[in-house]
Amino acid sequence: MRIQLNGEPFEVSDGATITDLLERLELAGRRVAVELNLDIVPRSQHPATPLKEGDRVEVVHAIGGG
């Protein structure tokens, strides 16, 4: 199925959770934050949060800024 990841179309397998997505992005265990359809998904809920067709997912991290 297709989701929108950071503004771009992205294919994930049916039934994939946020944890699965982060593993696929090689971001498992990294310091990132996830927003699903404009709501924050706390880290503790990543394994129990399945993705659906058309979901809009943002994965962010901290970078240099002033």
Partner 1 sequence: MNPVPADKPFVLAGRTYQSRLLVGTGKYKDMTETREAIEASGAEIVTVAVRRTNIGQNPDEPNLLDVISPDRYTILPNTAGCYDAVEAVRTCRLARELLDGHNLVKLEVLADQKTLFPNVIETLKAAETLIADGFDVMVYTSDDPIIARQLAQMGCIAVMPLAGLIGTGLGICNPYNLRIILEEATVPVLVDAGVGTASDATIAMELGCEAVLMNSAIAHAQQPVMMARAMRHAIEAGRLAYLAGRMPKKLYASASSPMEGLVR
CB of residue 60 vs partner 1: minimum separation in angstroms? 5
Query: Site residues (CB under 8 A) for partner 1?
Result: 6-7, 25, 27, 30-35, 38, 40, 42-43, 58-66
Q: Which is nearer to partner 1, 1 or 27 (CB)?
A: 27
Distance CA 1, CA 43 (A): 23
The DSSP 8-state label assigned to residue 39 in this structure reads E
Query: Are 64 and 41 in contact, with CB atoms under 8 Å apart?
Result: no
CB of residue 18 vs partner 1: minimum separation in angstroms? 12
**Residues forming a β-bridge with 2:** 11
